Amino acid sequence: MTAVMIGYARTSTTDQKAGLEAQLRDLQAAGCTKIFKEQLSSVATERLELERALDFVREGDVLVVTKLDRLARSVADLMAITEKLRHKGVELRILALNLDTSTPTGKLMLNLLGSIAEFERELMLERQREGIAKAKAEGKYKGRAPTARSKASTVLALRADGKTPAEIQAALGISRASVFRILKERAIAGEAA
């Protein structure tokens, strides 16, 4: 019996059309007869197309993804997905790693790679937290620079010239909320004076 190849493709945003197209091309080239695809962040609570793919696969099938990070967000997530697949008698193939869980080596490599990826992410987050704490202690950390506030005088000048908030937003490339916030702060400051 020949295994049926089922593909799963995901990009983090709808802007990543080229990334999704590349995944679809690679999955088709790998022989996938059905492909589930979605465009949302891996941290999204529900990945409906992944759930549909996991429900769709049957014993003897192979779930194919282009990269490990397209499938799972953490080692725990990876283990839960691979356990579902194992329970259904479905193998996993990751194209970029030439990894196939139908072999003992493939199973070992999957567990190792998932653990290493999670370890690297945790180290990165820890270094980031330490860097922010150090910068705060030294008085150097101020957070993200407010981009709209630096344009407050221009917002007020455009408003004084009779421009609408929508026109100001378009001219300066800032959000509508920022325009109204600056105008409101100016009104409050004017009342206090």
Residues 6+ apart with CB under 8 A from 183: 155, 156, 159, 165
Q: What is the pLDDT of residues 71-120, one digit of tens each?
A: 887 777 888 898 899 999 999 999 998 999 988 898 888 888 777 877 87
Give CA–CA dist 58/167, Å, rounded: 56
Same domain membership, residue 164 and residue 104? no
The answer to whether 12 is a known catalytic residue is yes
At residue 5, what are phi and psi to the nearest 5 degrees?
-95, 120
Give CA–CA dist 148/141, Å, rounded: 19
How confident is residue 175, by pLDDT bands cut at 50, 70 and 90?
confident
Same domain membership, residue 112 and residue 23? yes
Q: How many domains does the chain have?
A: 2
Highest mean pLDDT: which range of 53-67, 96-110, 145-159 = 53-67
Active-site annotation holder among 12, 41, 102, 115: 12
Same domain membership, residue 102 and residue 13? yes
13 part of a folded domain: yes
Average pLDDT of the chain to the nearest whole number: 86
Q: How confident is the model at residue 43, as a pLDDT?
A: 60
Same domain membership, residue 107 and residue 174? no
